[in-house]
Amino acid sequence: MKRLSRIHGLGVFTTKRIRAGRVLIAYLGQALSKAEVRARYTDDDVDDPHTLLFHLGGNRYIDASVGGNDARFINHSCDPNCESLMSDGAIWIRAIKNIQPRVELTYDYSLEIERHASRARRSRYSCRCGASKCRGTMLAT
């Protein structure tokens, strides 16, 4: 179920206990090529960490702002209880820990931008997860 999150905006919360290893939800949305992403979004929009694009690799993206489901509301955490995985060209969210009822689902976004991005650009991806081992960014390390 989705509701307000202490991490950011809306989050997805469990209603019952979930065991580690369980596949929970597909990350749905409109399939786009890189050219279609560029036509739809300005550089600033693509860099906005609130843009709901998931890169499948190569020239394939999923835009959850069109045809997306509740998976788009799963927030980032540096100490996540879920992970994203690709299988048969689809993105799935799977529990990596046992999760108790009413706990927010999270996964590590591990976002990637160019290697020598400015400090100002990197700051757009600051993390608010509150984990004891928070690395301070949603960017991959």
List of residues 6+ apart from 118 with CB closer than 8 A: none
Band (pLDDT 50/70/90 cuts) for residue 132 is very high
Task: With a cut of 90, say whether residue 127 has pLDDT above it.
Answer: yes
Strands (E), the chain: 2-4, 10-12, 23-26, 30-32, 53-57, 60-63, 75-76, 82-87, 90-95, 106-107
Task: With a cut of 80, say whether residue 42 has pLDDT above it.
Answer: no
Burial of 83-96, coded b for 16+ CB within 10 Å and e otherwise, reads ebeeeeeebbbbbe
Instruction: Tell me which fold the domain 2-108 belongs to.
Output: Beta-clip-like (2.170.270)
What is the tens place of the pLDDT at every residue in 15-33?
999 999 999 999 999 999 9
Rounded CA gap, 77 and 136, in Å? 10
What is the tens place of the pLDDT at every residue in 57-80?
889 999 999 999 999 999 999 999
List of residues 6+ apart from 75 with CB closer than 8 A: 5, 7, 8, 9, 11, 12, 104, 105, 106, 129
Band (pLDDT 50/70/90 cuts) for residue 50 is low
Q: Where do the structural domains in the chain lie, given as residue ranges?
A: 2-108
Rounded CA gap, 112 and 15, in Å? 32
User: Which of 94, 101, 103 shows the shortest CA–CA distance to 24?
Assistant: 94
